[in-house]
Structure 1
């Protein structure tokens, strides 16, 4: 499931997402949540970094989660991420909380679903704030809350032919 730049805009706001003057316009300093997506396609660090651009941001913190080659002492060959139909709504909720709690100027997050190989990007997210400390803290809160509350599950496939589900209820 993929969404365009999704924001905290309310119905009736001018423009379409990403259009000048519309929700998601990087020139609109009032729009903090710039990009929220769950995608079955390769992720772009540049897309997230561009969404975090804000003239008042002196600190930008970016987190990149990649598929590693091991977990729990086992060699990982590949994995699949599966998202619950409510994952995007849960991700929006987490983003709104972080935006309200921290003095950030911009926030963006994209999570991958589908089949991933070792080294592939699984999640790219970040925040921009006036100062680095706020950006660091907000980014940490964003990834921690995403991992704890957004229903996206990992099916790991190990080199020995075994597999396991991670993060399932």
Structure 2
């Protein structure tokens, strides 16, 4: 959907420059969020280096996760109508971006994404993804064209506790949610 505008462009630009050519501190990625009005407590940024399926080089994908609640709707976004239906429904918006500007297509496995909290793990199936922009479940990102979906977290999730997002066993990041400040 073209309504993902301001946040998508801002996060894409800051992430590509921060990670795409040598990496930078995680704090720099989150600095770009100030423009959107999204509070740090509802966002996680997860850079992943995906190993090749055969011979070749790994690819880099950046995932941006936004927990959908009232704080998300109060931000300066043009896509409130997309997210409004998912407030208080234990849902997370996730974008996938290519971090390889000179590679036209980057592949990832959407079902390698999973979520955890104390005593709870959730490994989503294809049915737990709601398409938002492009075909997220196809696991393909084209340079300059992110894909997005909403993940329905199901039972057992507690919004008052930090949510850990994982890509297989390769990488993880934290959406602080109920906690104060950065972790």
User: One fold, TM greater than 0.5?
Assistant: no
Larger radius of gyration: 1
Q: TM-score range by the shorter chain?
A: under 0.3
TM-score by length of 1: 0.25
TM-score by length of 2: 0.24
RCO greater where, 1 or 2, for CA within 8 Å and sep 6 or more? 1
